Structure 1
């Protein structure tokens, strides 16, 4: 009798749960029907009856404090009938809070500007936490769709191995060299004139210039021949002269073998060794700032504002050193190396950061959410996103939109970026939009940067690789292998350059990496590259 009662109880529970499931499906179906009925097919407002979208967002220090009360977004809310409720998390603590939110199951409707790593986008996409956007883009995002059709390589770069798009990226303009370039080379024209030289065009001329500059002083302080905020940024200038890192800086260990066209672990290539020998000469002769491996940004900026750098690889010096000192710098050249190589390799893929707009499975209005973003990919929308509101931050002129005087010459002494931050949520942050040089006020579109880009455009590498996608088993192995290899490469690179380790140890260095699993690492990277290339 007990057994029969237990069976009956189980049957009743199963029937109850099945009925609840059917009720939930029916309720969800009804909600979806209501959401579609409320959606406008085109134009504004996006929805007839106001909806609320809960957004988890990263927040850079340079943006407005509270995105729930920003003039541009307030106006856009009126236009769309969509109330975006922003939960902002500072970039410093973003990864931890984002990961906790994803793990908790208490999800927002949308992750925006959160720098979600590719591996996590793919993982949570396959789990169904993040929804595929392919069909929604086709039907509800005409501006994004048109762009992806125009640039199929970008669509390829955001499509995961299972064929789905789970995130809208932040994009750099593939037709704008200055947008694709990361840091740039700058030469102190006053020091150049003082040593009586032309702007260096080869590694040998660059060495001669640095050597001459070392003996000079600026207002009683010694000139520092060559520097930046890290040693990596110095390599961004030098690597192209030795033919390495020829697929851009998004891959720190691999590039393309120029002889075979195959993938290459360039950190063991002979050309890379030659580059380290050149950097060793610069460092041991005091031509590179001697604390480059530990330099703090504040120290670099302090030296820069005193005009002490003869050459540097960094961002616009006027932005960071001020007009008086920063105006002393002119664009440097991509350098030609001893083997005739001359490339500018500090280049990013247009898809330089992917995980910035992902819709979760709790969002009841995914169509409207994507339409909300799609407007900012239109001509009028880009203008609004980057420049703000007509009459408040910019005006239309015969030459195009122009920022108002109170933004460009703020009465309170604010910079352009600081003044704009009172009206828009850009600059700063990983916004899922396309940087457009016609409207963007980002530093890379300043006249000095554009001049630098035009000067070096002939030497920009072609088709820089974006970050690759990996399957789960590949990712777990790659994480372990890449961590060990990267750490060892970094340690030995510093030892070779500073002279702590002799280049006579080069073969041992190469053999050690092979013993650390280099072949397996390259097999995984080859599979990922094949997927990217559509093989």
Structure 2
């Protein structure tokens, strides 16, 4: 197909999609009705406390990504919320994989849902559509109709700073997960290999790690008589090769994050230009040359990597838990990776989860009752609401054993089967960035021995070793965002391509200075300057 025909087809497809979305707008309410109009959507219809939220039934449209397991209308959690609040939701889903496209088409169409739920609204999108008046500013609604969320902001000023745009408005509520410290999935050792090689003390330095990986390659820890062991394996994540292990190995050279981080002296760094990043590339090239890094790491799928692990070939890998890659049942025999350090630093840099994912809940200008919508979502930021959306209604998958202490126990999965798969059929908060707060009380009584072990591994190997947030969640100004977006497209592609070339030896590290000059010309220094300005502004706000 020639370029002209292809462009015409794309334009026709976009036009048809916009036309189809014309039926996906608000629930028959124009902007003039808003919060001051008449009828069931007005503020007079909304109770400021207690349930139901509205005195007369109210229908709101909600757009969200869908993981494709259950029709949201049949989810017990949303059915319970309708009974509790008096608000009926008209759900407009799109598959998770294509939701970004749907979201863009919605904003282009001018026909907006009343609520954006788990829409992953970036800070740039919030600034753009908030500035255009499409997204409603939420700060006054929070003060008047969201006591649970307001309490969170009052107790955690950094959250307010991180979700407030440069124009002073809050356009979206976040996911808050302070009790999940992992920046990315941890790396895990294959415990069978450790046992076979009589390793009782995990590597603490890059040299000790190299020695261990070399032993895996040479000493047949899987015992099959073949040299088929793979010391370290990775697979591209969203096209980003090595992302699942990069953060942990960068840390050995004092680097907290793969793009932007701030050091202990409040200086912002652009990682791909740092000397520590060059040291990381040098070490990874050494692993590659000695066949200790899987040579399919830049091309294989996650499933292919798992197949190797389940064939008992892989010594070190990344996943949410080790058994999810190795297969079988959860095991305390596969220890979490202890971050190692090189001889260039005094301690490893360990990145910790920011605890905030922006853009989880927003209200459009055509919403007939922003007040009711805010009260609806505020319930999810309470213990009771977070419990409902996280675990489902009491009596389905869990029950209280002592409600006074919030102690619970799991119930058998109805009909048998996997607990998480069943949970996905009863709550929308599965596999998407949905608004919530993760509280330790939710898990009280529900954590088994394996969960306690993982928590201890996390505490002793990450948190106690000085894990910290590399860079806060913050907004750029529209001009800053435009400049960063323009630079990032080509810069990120170049940096990732050169990472692969340096590691595989297709580009000798002797050409580092040439690479550095190219990165500078493409805007590397400017990236650090922009984020330094934004960080200074955030810190003072």
TM range (shorter): 0.7 to 0.9
Paired position in structure 1 for 2:71: 66
| Match status 1:226 vs 2:232 | yes
C-alpha spacing 1:34/1:395, structure 2 compared with 1 (3 Å)? closer
Unaligned runs of at least 5 residues, structure 2: 1-29, 237-241
Paired position in structure 2 for 1:189: 191
The offset of 1:400, in angstroms, is 3.8
Paired position in structure 1 for 2:62: 55
C-alpha spacing 1:324/1:474, structure 2 compared with 1 (3 Å)? closer
Paired position in structure 2 for 1:362: 366
Q: Does the 8 A contact of 1:345 with 1:460 survive in 2?
A: yes
Secondary structure (helix, strand or coil) at the match of 2:89 reads strand
Paired position in structure 2 for 1:96: 101
| Match status 1:199 vs 2:205 | no
| Match status 1:347 vs 2:352 | yes
Match of 1:512 among 513, 518, 521: 518
CA distance in 1, matches of 2:56, 2:292: 65
Q: Does the 8 A contact of 1:44 with 1:80 survive in 2?
A: yes
Q: Does the 8 A contact of 1:203 with 1:335 survive in 2?
A: yes
TM-score (norm 1): 0.87
Paired position in structure 2 for 1:268: 273
Paired position in structure 2 for 1:451: 456
| Match status 1:383 vs 2:387 | yes
Paired position in structure 2 for 1:497: 503
The offset of 1:479, in angstroms, is 1.2
**Per-residue Cα deviation, 1:203-258 (whole angstroms, up to 9, x for no partner):** 1111111000112153636221012333122222111111012xxx4xx3222355
Paired position in structure 2 for 1:305: 310
The offset of 1:324, in angstroms, is 4.6
Match of 2:122 among 117, 121, 135: 117
CA distance in 2, matches of 1:363, 1:142: 21
Greater gyration radius: 1
TM-score (norm 2): 0.86
C-alpha spacing 1:102/1:155, structure 2 compared with 1 (3 Å)? same
| Match status 1:85 vs 2:90 | yes
CA distance in 2, matches of 1:361, 1:27: 7
| Match status 1:237 vs 2:248 | yes
The offset of 1:533, in angstroms, is 1.5
CA distance in 1, matches of 2:190, 2:440: 27
Q: Does the 8 A contact of 1:54 with 1:85 survive in 2?
A: yes
Paired position in structure 1 for 2:433: 430
Paired position in structure 2 for 1:20: none
The offset of 1:405, in angstroms, is 3.2
Paired position in structure 1 for 2:410: 404
C-alpha spacing 1:55/1:325, structure 2 compared with 1 (3 Å)? closer
Query: What RMSD, in angstroms, separates the aligned Cα atoms of the two structures?
Result: 2.5
The offset of 1:422, in angstroms, is 2.7
Q: Does the 8 A contact of 1:228 with 1:314 survive in 2?
A: no
CA distance in 2, matches of 1:506, 1:494: 13
Number of aligned residue pairs: give it.
Answer: 497
The offset of 1:79, in angstroms, is 0.9
C-alpha spacing 1:69/1:476, structure 2 compared with 1 (3 Å)? same
**Per-residue Cα deviation, 1:360-404 (whole angstroms, up to 9, x for no partner):** 000111111011111111121121111111122211014744353
Paired position in structure 1 for 2:20: none
More divergent stretch after superposition (31-40 vs 109-118): 31-40
The offset of 1:82, in angstroms, is 0.5
The offset of 1:298, in angstroms, is 1.0
**Per-residue Cα deviation, 1:42-96 (whole angstroms, up to 9, x for no partner):** 01111111100100111124xx421112112111211110001111111111011
The offset of 1:358, in angstroms, is 0.6
CA distance in 1, matches of 2:122, 2:230: 38
CA distance in 2, matches of 1:276, 1:139: 52
Q: Does the 8 A contact of 1:254 with 1:264 survive in 2?
A: yes
C-alpha spacing 1:141/1:161, structure 2 compared with 1 (3 Å)? same
Paired position in structure 1 for 2:5: none
Q: Does the 8 A contact of 1:226 with 1:310 survive in 2?
A: yes
